[in-house]
Amino acid sequence: MLQQSPDPLSENDEVWDREYELWLFHNVANWLKNEFQSKTWEAFWKTAVEGREVVSVAAELGMSAGAIYIAKSRVLARIRTEVQQIESWERP
């Protein structure tokens, strides 16, 4: 019966891991924000973080849908690179 019960520690680990990932993402994003033009950052944030439709954001920012996708891709790639570098420092 004990083997069928979920391990509360592993559930806590999953919650902690998710919270850490969110914390790391927001800190890295905040740190890198000034590396991008404001429209590029807005395009990324509104589509990737807020989950808004590309067409809507493109119209709002006066950009093409393709430019929105490119902006999102560039910012995500930069954030991903920085997060990977930070995580490599943390591992022994």
Contact 38, 28 (CB under 8 A): no
Contact 25, 83 (CB under 8 A): yes
Please tell me the pTM assigned to this model. Answer: 0.79
Average pLDDT along the chain: 89
Domain 8-90 is found in CATH 1.10.10: yes
Q: How far apart are CA 48 and CA 87, in angstroms?
A: 22
Extents of the domains making up the chain: 8-90
pLDDT in tens, 58-70: 999 999 999 999 9
Degrees (nearest 5) of the Cα angle 37, 39, 40? 65
Q: How many CB atoms lie within 10 A of CB 40?
A: 19
The residue with greater pLDDT, 17 or 78, is: 78
